[in-house]
Structure 1
Amino acid sequence: MSAAPLNVLIVDDSAAIRSAFASIVREDPGLSLMGAAADPYEAAKMMRDTLPDVMLLDLELPKMDGLTFLRKIMSQRPLPVVVCSSHTESGSQAMIKALESGAAEVLAKPRFDSPEARREAAIRLGDALRAAVAARKGRKMRPDALSPGEKFTADVILPYREPVAVPQTAPLIAIGASTGGTEALREVLTALPADAPGIVIVQHMPEAFTGAFARRLDGLCQITVKEAETGDTVAPGLALIAPGNRHMVLRRVGRGYQVSLLDGPYVTRHRPSVDVLFRSTAQQAGANALGIILTGMGSDGAAGMLEMYQNGARTIAQDEATCVVYGMPREAVEMGGAERELPLHAIPNQITSFTGATRPKHRDGAA
C-alpha cells in the first residue's frame, strides 16, 4: 500500500453518522478525510476538482437516492465505493443491486452504543475502505495492510486439535470468500449440477444481507442455496451460507454433517470467519472435505486451510489472475495450505468431481 493515506469521502444524510464515520477515518493512520457530504449534489461539488481514493456511500439520501448516484459515478467517473445500508428487507435488496452496479464492498450501518461495537465498526470500516481500493484495477496495495485493531484466531471459538483420522463420510465442500466473492460465488454455484456435493460457505457480508444474497443465488442455481440455521443438514444439491454476524461450524452426525451458528468475537477480523469454518471442517471432515478459498482481502481462511490440508483435505486457492483481490488466496498459498491455484472457471469441475477420496501423498499441482 502507498505510504500516503487514502482520501475518503463520506456521503450520508445523518449528521451523527457523518460525525462518527469521520472520527473513525481521522483516527486511522492509513486514512484521510477528504470531506463529508449530506447528499449526492454536495458530494459532486466536492469531487469537481479532485476525486477521493474511495467513497463511503449511504443508499438512503435526499435529492437523489444512493443507488442512482452510484450508477452515475460508475458510468461517468468510476472510483472505489463502499456502500452502507440499513438492516431492512429493502436495504438488503438494494445492497445486492449496489454490488451489481459496481460497489466494491457493502457494510451495514454499524452500532456505536458500546466501546466494543465502536472498535468492531472501526475495523470493518477501515478494512472495507482498503479492500475497495485494492479491488480497483491498476491500483496496487498490500492486501494485508489492514486497519489497526486486534486480530483473534479461531482459538477463541473452537480449540485447536491435533490431526486425527476421520471415518469416511459423504463428501463436503467448504468455501471462503470476501471482496469480490459475491460474483465469484455466483459464477461457481451457477455452474454446478443439481446433485453437486453439499457445500458450506462463509462470505464476508453484513448481518441481514446474507439472506437476500442466498435467495438471489437460489433463483439462479440448479442447486438449492439458503442462509444457514443451526441444525441444518449438509446435503447433496444444497449450499448453506453463514449468516452475517454469526460464526458457522460443522458437526459430524453419523456419516453426514450439520451446521451450528455461534456468537463470539471477530476471528481474523471477521464474523463469520472462514478460519472458524475451515477449522471445524478440518476436525470433523478431514479427508472427506475439499476446501476452497476465493478472492478477498486479508488472511481469513489461510490458517484454517492449512489445518484442513494437514487433516487430509484437498485444498484449492483461486489464482491471482481471476481474483478481484488476491489477498486471502495468496496468504493460503504462502502458508502452505493450498495444494493448487486454479482460475475461477476451473473450480466448479473440481467440486463436481470431488468424492472425498484419500488425498495423494504428494501435491499434484494439476489444473
Structure 2
Amino acid sequence: MAIKVLVIDDSALMRSVLSEVINSAPDLEVVGTAPDPIAAREMIKTLNPDVLTLDIEMPKMDGLDFLARLMRLRPMPVVMISSLTRRGSEATLQALELGAVDFVPKPRLDSSAGIEACRVEICDKVRGAFGARPRVPVVSSPSPKPLLREPPGQVGSALGSVSERALQERLVLIGASTGGTEAIKEVLCSMPEHMPAILMVQHMPEMFTASFAKRLDGLCRLRVKEAEHGERVVPGTAYLAPGHSHLSVRRVAGGYQCELAQSEPVNRHRPAVDVLFQSAATQVGANGVGVILTGMGKDGAQGLLAMRQAGAWTIGQDQESCVVYGMPREAAAIGALDDVAPLREVGLRVLNRLRMTEKRGIKA
C-alpha cells in the first residue's frame, strides 16, 4: 500500500505543487490537502494519514502551535515545509524541537526546474518520515552557558584533570542527519566547557546551519560556531559544517585546522559525514573519537570504519533512541562501531573514553 500523505499549506498553488510532486512517486499518495490546521484536524480524523507535510505560517492557527498540540495529543510523523529565510530557519529548528521528523525547503515556483530539483528530496523525506519513530518532546532545561569559566586545562568533573596537550591532540567527530538537530543538542549539552574540540556534520541547508550553530551556542557550555576555511581548531569549541561545503580536518603544526570545499556531493550530500570522517582517519588517527547519530541513509558508515581501522574509538546511537535508524545501522552492519548506546548516554560514554585515553597517553 502507498504511504498516505496529508498536505497542509495556506497556498493553493503550493498545495497543488506538493500534491503533484508526492503523487509522482508510485509508493506515495496524497489523500487530502488542507488550507489551515483547523481543516487539517478534521481530515486527520477521517483520512488517518501516515505522514503530514506542514507549513509554518498559516491562518487560523500557527503551524508551530498546531504541531505542539498534535504531538501532545496524536504523535505522528511530520515533515515541515520551510522557507529559506533566517526567520524560516529559526522556526524550523523550533519545529524540530517540538517533534517534527524533518524538513524540506519550499520548492521554487518560478520555474519547472526549481520544482524538479526538489522532487527527489521531498519524496525521500516523506518516506523517511514514514519509517521514523515519532518523538514526543520532553521539556528540559539544559545547563546554561556558565558566566564563570573553569580554569584552563581542567575538564569538568566528568573528565577530571586533562593536560593541555591532550586538549589539543584529541578530536571528537560527530555526524547526523534526520533527527540529528535534537540528538546533537543533547550530546553537546552534556559536555563540559573545557574539552577537546568537536567537529560536526548535520545534513541541512546553509541558512539553517547558521541558525543551528547560533542556537546551540546559546544552550551549551561549549562555544559552538560554523566552521570557517583554514581556521585553527581550538579546545572547548564545536565546529559545525556550513550547509554549502564539505568539512574536513587537517593536521598542522601544534594541532588541527578546518578545511572547507564546495566539491561534488558525497552520498548525495554536501556537507557529507563521510568526508569529515575520512579526513579524521588520515589526519587524526587514534586520537579521534567518532560518533554517528540518527539519520536516514548510509552517509558516514564507511568513514567511521576508516576511523576505527586507524585506531579511533567509535560509537553509534542505538535503534530505540533514533528517530531514523539508518546511518548508525549501516555503520554497525560493516563493523564500524566499538560501542552502541541510547542517546542519553552517548555524551557520557564519549567523556569516559576521553578520560580513559588520557590515562593511557596520547598516540603519536
Under a length normalisation based on structure 1, what TM-score does the superposition of the two structures give? 0.81
CA-CA distance at 1:358 after TM superposition: 8.2
Give the aligned residue type for 1:182. T
Question: Partners in 1 of 2:175 and 2:220 — Cα distance?
Answer: 18
In structure 1, the residue matched to 2:4 is 7
Structure 2: runs of 5 or more not aligned: 136-165
Question: Partners in 2 of 1:47 and 1:321 — Cα distance?
Answer: 27
CA-CA distance at 1:97 after TM superposition: 1.6
In structure 1, the residue matched to 2:316 is 317
Aligned CA distance change for structure 1 residues 127 and 333 (closer, same or farther; 3 Å):
same
Question: Partners in 1 of 2:235 and 2:350 — Cα distance?
Answer: 11
Find the partner of 1:104 among 93, 101, 105.
Answer: 101
Question: Partners in 2 of 1:180 and 1:124 — Cα distance?
Answer: 16
In structure 1, the residue matched to 2:249 is 250
- Deviations along 1:240-280, one digit per CA (max 9) or x if unpaired, are 11122432122222232222222244322322211121112
Fraction of identical pairs, as percent: 49
In structure 2, the residue matched to 1:182 is 181
Q: Is 1:41 matched up with 2:44?
A: no
Find the partner of 2:67 among 61, 65, 70.
Answer: 70
In structure 2, the residue matched to 1:29 is 26
In structure 1, the residue matched to 2:54 is 57
CA-CA distance at 1:124 after TM superposition: 2.2
Question: Partners in 2 of 1:95 and 1:75 — Cα distance?
Answer: 18
In structure 2, the residue matched to 1:281 is 280
Q: Is 1:229 matched up with 2:245?
A: no
- Equivalence map 1:57-136=2 (5 Å): 57-111=54-108, 118=115, 120-136=117-133
Kept after mapping to 2: 8 A contact 1:197/1:351: no
Count of equivalent residues:
328
3-state SS, counterpart of residue 320 of structure 1: coil
Give the aligned residue type for 1:37. A
Give the aligned residue type for 1:281. A
3-state SS, counterpart of residue 49 of structure 1: helix
Aligned CA distance change for structure 1 residues 265 and 187 (closer, same or farther; 3 Å):
same
Kept after mapping to 1: 8 A contact 2:291/2:314: yes
- Equivalence map 1:167-178=2 (5 Å): 170-178=169-177
Q: Is 1:213 matched up with 2:219?
A: no
Structure 1: runs of 5 or more not aligned: 139-167, 361-367
- Deviations along 1:100-151, one digit per CA (max 9) or x if unpaired, are 222111222244677876555223212222222222359xxxxxxxxxxxxx
Question: Partners in 2 of 1:178 and 1:129 — Cα distance?
Answer: 14
Question: Partners in 2 of 1:283 and 1:19 — Cα distance?
Answer: 49
Question: Partners in 2 of 1:31 and 1:245 — Cα distance?
Answer: 30
Q: Is 1:343 matched up with 2:335?
A: no
Question: Partners in 1 of 2:348 and 2:43 — Cα distance?
Answer: 48
Kept after mapping to 1: 8 A contact 2:213/2:226: yes
3-state SS, counterpart of residue 82 of structure 1: strand
3-state SS, counterpart of residue 229 of structure 1: coil
> Which region of structure 1 is more displaced relative to structure 2, 347-356 or 213-222?
347-356
Aligned CA distance change for structure 1 residues 64 and 330 (closer, same or farther; 3 Å):
same
Kept after mapping to 2: 8 A contact 1:296/1:326: yes
Aligned CA distance change for structure 1 residues 299 and 359 (closer, same or farther; 3 Å):
farther
- Deviations along 1:278-331, one digit per CA (max 9) or x if unpaired, are 112222222221111011222111111112122222211122233222221111
3-state SS, counterpart of residue 47 of structure 1: helix
3-state SS, counterpart of residue 236 of structure 1: coil
Give the aligned residue type for 1:307. A
Aligned CA distance change for structure 1 residues 18 and 261 (closer, same or farther; 3 Å):
farther
Q: Is 1:198 matched up with 2:197?
A: yes
Question: Partners in 1 of 2:264 and 2:34 — Cα distance?
Answer: 33
Aligned CA distance change for structure 1 residues 346 and 276 (closer, same or farther; 3 Å):
same
Kept after mapping to 1: 8 A contact 2:191/2:222: yes
Kept after mapping to 2: 8 A contact 1:106/1:205: no
In structure 1, the residue matched to 2:143 is none
Question: Partners in 2 of 1:118 and 1:218 — Cα distance?
Answer: 34
Give the root-mean-square deviation of aligned CA atoms: 2.6
- Deviations along 1:322-352, one digit per CA (max 9) or x if unpaired, are 3222221111011111122123333223433
3-state SS, counterpart of residue 322 of structure 1: coil
Question: Partners in 2 of 1:98 and 1:127 — Cα distance?
Answer: 19
Question: Partners in 2 of 1:110 and 1:229 — Cα distance?
Answer: 29
CA-CA distance at 1:224 after TM superposition: 0.6
Kept after mapping to 2: 8 A contact 1:87/1:207: no
Question: Partners in 2 of 1:235 and 1:80 — Cα distance?
Answer: 39
